[in-house]
Chain A
């Protein structure tokens, strides 16, 4: 199948380009800088000790997970409105990467929570709404990957993508009320919101740059891959027809 395709189509044989190679090197360098500043140079926190270092990954990941969701909704809206294939692929690619980043946020959050709160999970508004966000994203991806016609998949997924951000807002609001009407949010009071300055602030800044570069790099590659997948889908039928014809001619 793959040899057939590479013979018949003249598409690129890699999702990399000059630009993404440079971007990839920059991402690697900034990740090394993040490791240096986050793990070595920045001091341990007065309250949280060494555990604070995981936040240099956790907080930027959360920010870019939200950016990914926003891109999915914008892309879905543009696809439904303008029938733009380009935006549809942006929506799909960013949803997938947002899913990965949301999972990273949850896992790093739990690792941070165990020494800080003594448990992996508390029914805090932020944690719960992030978990719901992950489930909503999985729903979108399930529809986008349905074994159905391309147009059916993309249009139904786009409707879900369009509702993603409104859903996140409503879920977040309801979960916040749900917790705060019953108990005060004490757990985070001396956590993320605490003042940070100096080298710690800089480490967080490096974290934003590094995670942002990784996010962009992944997004571009995933976008190109999704585009190639679409091409294979379309070309696959032509190839199959050509093969059958060849068989017919040979016999």
Chain B
């Protein structure tokens, strides 16, 4: 299962390395969102500085939607999904591989977006331990839930509009948790942030288990 996961993750990441869709389209989109927030909320009034963690994670969530759509779009053409189904790989492995590939892309995106926030919003970054751990857990949560709902919407004519409707309400706890954890870290009181990391860990585990169990039947028929 783990071997299959690495195989799928390698395939998806190689595709990304060669096509550079996430790098050339999703990342500029994320930066654009940061600039748009600055337009909407006047940078001089201090609103931007207060809301930085929330805005950062909103930008990540929107970019994650695009990355997830892309993760399933690469298999939509030429009956690639059928090929994947017939490949004999463990469906749970396919799920974990996709989660891993999306997570890696999101983490790269988060690092670059973090630099963007630090430069554009002049955020003073501290509390590294909490920042890194909460980012990794939040990314795993987004990728696991996103991959499960992604395959749920895959192969339907309405997938582009359906995925945000299904995914965003479910990800509300992750948005709250990651934002609060970032706020706590940036404010220099990391002890307030750790309970949120715990909550997000439960969320991530729930969706990894649900994905491992449910991905096979869902892939079967999409």
Chain A neighbourhood of B177, CB < 8 A: 174
Query: Number of residues in A with C-beta < 8 Å to the partner?
Result: 29
B187 to chain A, nearest CB (A): 13
A107 proximity list for chain B (CB < 8 A): none
Q: Is the CB of B172 within 8 A of A174?
A: yes
Shortest beta-carbon distance from B100 to chain A in Å: 21
Cβ-based interface call for A132 (8 A): yes
Does more than half of chain A's interface fall in helix, strand or loop, or is it mixed?
Answer: helix
Instruction: Tell me whether B206 and A174 are in contact (CB under 8 A).
Output: no
Are A170 and B165 in contact, with the CB atoms below 8 A? no
With A and B bound together, what is the CA distance between A114 and B148 in angstroms? 40
B157 near A143: Cβ-Cβ < 8 Å: no
Instruction: Provide the B143-186 mask, 1 if CB < 8 A to any CB of A, else 0.
Output: 00000100010001110001001100110110011001000000
Contact A173 B156, CB 8 Å, known A156-B218, A181-B192: no
Across the interface, B195 reaches (CB within 8 A) one of A151, A155, A177, namely A177
21 contacts across the A-B interface (CB closer than 8 A): A139-B170, A142-B162, A143-B152, A143-B166, A152-B222, A155-B218, A160-B152, A163-B170, A163-B210, A167-B170, A170-B173, A170-B199, A171-B170, A171-B172, A173-B173, A174-B177, A174-B199, A175-B176, A177-B176, A178-B180, A181-B192
User: Taking beta carbons and an 8 Å cutoff, which residues of A are in contact with B?
Assistant: 80, 132, 135-136, 138-139, 142-143, 146-148, 151-152, 155-156, 159-160, 162-163, 166-167, 170-171, 173-175, 177-178, 181
Which residues of chain B have a CB within 8 Å of any CB of chain A? 148, 152, 156-158, 162, 165-166, 169-170, 172-173, 176-177, 180, 192, 195-196, 199, 202-203, 206, 210, 214, 217-218, 221-222
